[in-house]
């Protein structure tokens, strides 16, 4: 009898067993959360950078071999390369802003469909609108808030380089404010028709509550046959 009493006394109480179980659940949840955060903040960038690099290399190879021709592009198709020298950004531009087909692959997307259709760089006037992730999935637009008026933004296509100079920034606006993509955006410093570029991304970081907008104005159109523009060789 004494031995049985001692055995019962040495067993943990129901409260202790319950608290241990709850503790194990929290530890497991914490590990899973850590893995998820690692995936979002690190692995999505690794994978997206690899996909974007492959697309950029494929574009360059196709241009060199003459496989691609200027014209209309299907959704998800890469057709140009965006350079932002100050930020060390070199990223493919694809048609459309679909997350899975374009943005989550580390590319930036051209607003080229339906009501949000914007001009191409070779248009005589118009606004070339681009969207890109600010965080995760390659985050090509993470630091566009650091651009200053006069900083270069270059779009490289099969036949030409289009050089823009950053003109102004709208730090915060609503996602529904599509007027930022107008041919002459009302919140920009532009007062009349011209050849413009608009970069759009989410803000604040790690949220999609608002949008940040950067505008630029074209200052040079340079055939590839004449070599790289000064903005890419300085």
> Catalytic residue positions?
133, 202, 211
Which residue, 217, 1, 7, 229, is CA-closest to 128? 217
Degrees to nearest 5, angle at CA 84 with 91 and 224: 75
Element (H, E) at 108: strand 108-110
**190 phi/psi in degrees, rounded to 5:** -80, 140
In angstroms, rounded to a whole number, what is the distance separating the alpha carbons of residues 128 and 116?
11
3-state secondary structure of 56: helix
Cβ burial of 63 (10 Å; 0-12, 13-18, 19+) is middle
3-state secondary structure of 166: strand
Q: How far is CA 16 from CA 5, 23, 25, in A?
A: 19, 10, 14
3-state secondary structure of 199: strand
In angstroms, rounded to a whole number, what is the distance separating the alpha carbons of residues 59 and 172?
34
């Amino acid at each position: 009898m004494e031995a049985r009493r001692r055995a019962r006394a040495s067993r943990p109480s129901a409260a202790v067993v319950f608290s241990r179980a709850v503790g194990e659940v929290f530890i497991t949840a914490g590990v899973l959360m850590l893995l998820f955060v690692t995936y979002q903040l690190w692995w999505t960038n690794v994978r997206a950078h690899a996909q974007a690099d492959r697309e950029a290399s494929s574009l360059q190879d196709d241009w060199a071999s003459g496989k691609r021709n200027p014209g209309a592009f299907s959704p998800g198709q890469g057709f140009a390369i965006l350079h932002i020298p100050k930020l060390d950004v070199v990223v493919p531009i694809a048609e459309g802003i679909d997350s899975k087909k374009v943005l989550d692959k580390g590319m930036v997307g051209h607003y080229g469909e339906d009501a949000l259709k914007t001009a191409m760089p070779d248009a005589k006037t118009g606004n070339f609108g681009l969207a890109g992730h600010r965080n995760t999935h390659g985050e090509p637009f993470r630091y566009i808030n650091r651009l200053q008026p006069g900083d270069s933004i270059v779009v490289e296509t099969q036949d030409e380089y289009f050089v823009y100079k950053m003109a102004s920034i709208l730090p915060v606006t609503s996602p529904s404010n599509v007027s930022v993509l107008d041919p002459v955006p009302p919140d920009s410093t532009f007062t009349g028709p011209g050849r413009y570029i608009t970069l759009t991304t989410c803000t604040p970081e790690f949220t999609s509550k608002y949008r940040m907008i950067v505008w630029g104005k074209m200052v040079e159109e340079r055939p590839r046959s004449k070599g790289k523009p000064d903005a890419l060789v300085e």
